[in-house]
């Protein structure tokens, strides 16, 4: 089990579920470059670790999932180009090959919203809120904000969030399709972990392939996407895990999967 180099990123592994916690609650879990670097390292390990099958991403405390980048740290970059090419936490989360569930326990603003949208499944506390506030400071998001919002909630709703910078609450996020479910605050992490454990019980190659296929479905024309899906299905069908799945079904028992 890898250990984070800094206290602001906490890692906990149990029964194939890795929980990553942004641990800077006094600053609304806003992300520093050091935190980004630690996330990149954690993701690189998790992608290759057989003991990790799903990931839950959340923020410490009750106020915030993540309020985006620490604004006070942005002036340290010598040029805008240096800022453009920094190791980015949204890129790190988007680079995870395994299923990721965001447990959104408060503010998901700016880069925090982009981070949540970089996850595959989003579960929100009833106290959560969501915003793309960069326009209020003179810029726009750069971690996929426009692309993710347009795909998640439609062009008009995305424009409303991007051009006003004002937040929406959890109920509206659910109505618009930005999140899948709302829970009471105290039940959030348990609910996200429950979903993660269910996914972790599935054959891991198939789960990772499903994630890759979903991404392809968004970006490919229909006929090409269906062909790609069939190719991925064939690859999965050839695995030992698929053989075990069929055998377990016939024998009416849970499957035992080894990512082979």
Going by C-alpha positions, the residue among 22, 183, 13, 2 that lies closest to residue 115 is 22
Q: Is 134 a catalytic residue?
A: yes
> Could you tell me the CA-to-CA distances from 121 to 135, 141, 177 in Å, in that order?
26, 21, 11
- The active-site residue out of 44, 62, 134, 223 is 134
- The active-site residue out of 34, 51, 62, 114 is 114
Cα distance between the two ends of the chain: 21
- The single residue listed with the structure tokens 């069929």 is 246
Q: Is 114 a catalytic residue?
A: yes
> Could you tell me the CA-to-CA distances from 100 to 28, 133, 156, 250 in Å, in that order?
21, 25, 27, 30
**Collapsing DSSP states into helix, strand and coil, what is residue 193?**
helix
DSSP labels for 94-139? HT--S-EEEEE-SEEETHHHHHHHTSSEEEEETT-EEE-GGGGGT-
Cα–Cα dist 95/210, whole Å = 15
Cα–Cα dist 43/39, whole Å = 6
Cα–Cα dist 257/260, whole Å = 8
Catalytic residues: 114, 134
């Amino acid at each position: 089990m890898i250990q984070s180099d800094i206290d602001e990123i906490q890692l906990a592994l149990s029964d194939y579920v890795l929980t990553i916690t942004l641990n800077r609650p006094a600053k609304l879990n806003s992300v520093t470059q050091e935190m980004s670097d630690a996330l990149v390292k954690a993701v690189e390990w998790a992608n290759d670790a057989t003991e990790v099958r799903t990931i839950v991403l959340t923020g410490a405390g009750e106020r915030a999932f993540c309020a985006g980048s620490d604004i006070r740290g942005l002036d340290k970059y010598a040029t805008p180009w240096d800022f453009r090419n920094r190791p980015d936490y949204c890129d790190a989360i988007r680079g995870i090959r395994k299923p990721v569930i965001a447990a959104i326990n408060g503010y998901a603003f700016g880069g925090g919203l982009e981070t949540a949208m970089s996850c595959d499944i989003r579960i929100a506390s009833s106290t959560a809120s969501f915003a793309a506030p960069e326009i209020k400071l003179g810029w726009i998001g750069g971690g996929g904000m426009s692309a993710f919002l347009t795909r998640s909630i439609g062009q008009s709703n995305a424009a409303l969030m991007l051009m006003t910078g004002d937040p929406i609450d959890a109920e509206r996020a659910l109505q618009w399709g930005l999140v899948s479910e709302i829970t009471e605050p105290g039940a959030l992490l348990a609910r996200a972990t429950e979903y993660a454990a269910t996914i972790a019980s599935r054959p891991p190659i198939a789960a990772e392939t499903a994630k890759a296929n979903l991404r392809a479905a968004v970006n490919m024309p229909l006929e090409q996407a269906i062909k790609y899906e069939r190719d991925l299905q064939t690859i999965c069908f050839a695995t030992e895990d698929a053989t075990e799945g069929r055998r377990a079904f016939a024998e009416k028992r849970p499957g035992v999967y080894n990512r082979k």
